[in-house]
Structure 1
């Protein structure tokens, strides 16, 4: 019984680590971009095509170059784990990782 409980706890912690993983728009492949809530295959393709022209400098650059990513959407994507050059969007709420 204790083994099952411990195994469940370990699996839950591992899952939570994946759920809150950060994805950098300049380094991620299409599959990693698709894993961000709010980005599907069409949006990840648009991001990859724009990134091929040059890396995104910051969040405003991403918002300007990728159709459909405006300020509100950028806030949601940042909250879901998307980053530009390792940074979340200014003003975006941060999800708790469950660690204290």
Structure 2
């Protein structure tokens, strides 16, 4: 799955490094949440995704995501809105899929 520029609801591999402190690092999936008409700046607002751990069930802001062919995830994961970031288009690598309704 590929698109010219990331769109709202899509899941992409994103290069988050370099980072500082407790920011999520490395290459990982992320959900694009910025509006599609955000074209003036070459930035997108994203929520990083990481692997699910049972201890996350008690953290109210973490959102569990089940893998599917539609979203492109290969394991149970979690979206972490606390780590929402605005990132440059150059950090986007490959589109994995799309969020389901």
Bigger fraction of residues in helix: 1
Larger Rg: 1
Bigger fraction of residues in strand: 2
TM-score, normalisation: structure 2 = 0.25
TM-score, normalisation: structure 1 = 0.25
Task: For CA contacts below 8 A with separation 6 or more, give which structure has more relative contact order.
Answer: 2
